[in-house]
Amino acid sequence: MTTPPSSLGSPVPGPFPPSPETRRDGKGRGDRLPEHGEVLVVLFGRIGDVVFTLPSVAALAKARPDLSIDWIVEDRCADLLSGHPLLRDVIRFERSRLTALKKSGHPLRALGEIGRLVKRLRSRRYDAVLDFQGLLKSGVATGLARGALKLGSPSTYGRMREGSAFFSRMVPLPDAGLHLVERHLLVVRELLGRPVEPVSSGLTISPHEIRSAREKAGSDPFVLIHPFASWETRNWPADLWKKTAREMVERGFRVVVAGAGGPTQEEVVRRILEGAGGRGHSLLGQLSLRELAAVMALSEAVLAVDSGPMHIAASAGARVVALFGPTDPARLGPFGPRKRPGEGESYGRSGRVVAAGLPCQPCMLRRCPIGTPCQSELSPTAVVEAAMSLIASQELAGLSGALARERAS
């Protein structure tokens, strides 16, 4: 079953009147922030969650360019935010270092690192602290931060979890059908007291990273396959990826496969490249997150399971075919810049979602008691047909569109 992209033609709904009066200084009457105010965004990770939160930061900065915005994030996701033009400061939570210290028998040093982070977190008094994650760790960070106002997003499950609501006030969710990007925008709307619409995330890729991506991916047209996700139930069988690679090669494309690396992923990539024959190329473990975004932007299409890298592709404006099993595409489907022939660029739900369409979908289970038929019954032909339809019907947008225009000039 293939789901076409839907249009996002109206402001995000919420508890405010549709058109509140706006003051001459650009602030709504319900705006809770002073001039040149300071805002802290609390979202540690994962990759997809960072991508889903960037449009809220962009919308807030567009509505109030006088604000200074900081973000606390885990080290594994910080690469996406490095040098971001809308952020004053990126506060890194060095999770990898803390884990290594703990495992090597240095818990006191780990506590010292945490103490320094807390000191830095409390070194400023913020006008607003925004918890976009809604879990215990983000709740504790929100509670520790000094702030006059603390708001939380209803996030994926429609509520704040693990006690995080004790540290901030959750913004109500008026419609369970809202995408996670739209749910996060409710926080910005509550903060500003007026409607906001999703805008480009401002994902930044340097010229050096683009050159590196071109060198690594090659110049001939290619599709990028990213077959990996953190949940076991989100992963599509390697043999089906192998058949998909073979069909895409038969349609005239090279196949590039990307992933973080490791023995398990190496075996999956090996089987995919068998399907691609001599027209396949592996970039496993060779790309930073921003380089991955650049390679995706250079591709003709990205084929991926529901994962952080899939959302990076959508945010970059790539043509995305997203394979969904247990998770809900209404909340978690591709969302980013899009452009159709003869139309201007817009921002919202994008790409193609391909799913088996079983009655048990979406179950949102990390482990399946019946063997993940939502994955095994999804056919390679459906994925390839979705890719070819998307390539024919949707122009590249965002970073992808800019690189395509540059390549054509």
Per-residue pLDDT tens over the stretch 139-188:
888 999 999 899 999 887 777 888 787 888 989 999 988 999 999 999 99
- Contact by Cβ (8 Å): 92, 108: no
What's the CATH number where 158 sits?
3.40.50.2000
Are 32 and 177 within one domain? yes
Are 156 and 233 within one domain? no
Are 222 and 333 within one domain? yes
207-to-210, 246, 290, 365 alpha-carbon distances in Å:
5, 33, 11, 40
Name the phi and psi angles at 115, rounded to 5: -60, -40
The enclosing H or E element of 400 equals: helix 398-408
Domains: count for the chain:
2
Residue 200 resides in a domain: no
Q: How far is CA 92 from the centre of its chain?
A: 18
Are 318 and 245 within one domain? yes
- Contact by Cβ (8 Å): 62, 199: yes
Residue 199 resides in a domain: no
The pLDDT of residue 121 is 87
CA–CA distance, 116 with 120 (Å, rounded to integer):
6
Domain containing residue 90: 7-192
Are 377 and 230 within one domain? yes
Are 211 and 186 within one domain? no
Full DSSP string of 81-137? TTT-TT-SEEEEE-HHHHHHHHHTT-HHHHHHHHHHHHHHHTSSEESEEEESS-SHH
Are 100 and 218 within one domain? no
pTM for the model: 0.87
Are 220 and 313 within one domain? yes
**Amino acid at site 341:** P
The pLDDT of residue 19 is 31
The pLDDT of residue 30 is 58
Q: How far is CA 324 from the centre of its chain?
A: 15
Q: Pick from 149, 167, 192: which residue ends a domain? A: 192
- Contact by Cβ (8 Å): 234, 258: no
pLDDT digits (tens, 9 = 90+) for 32-79: 789 999 999 999 988 999 999 999 999 999 999 999 999 999 988 888
- For 247, the token pair is 């069909």
Mean pLDDT by 10 residues, the chain (409 residues): 36 33 42 90 91 94 95 90 91 78 77 82 93 89 91 84 84 91 95 88 83 91 95 94 97 95 91 94 93 95 96 95 95 92 88 95 92 94 96 90 82
Q: Pick from 192, 227, 258: which residue ends a domain? A: 192
Residue 229 resides in a domain: yes
Residue 246 is classified by DSSP as H
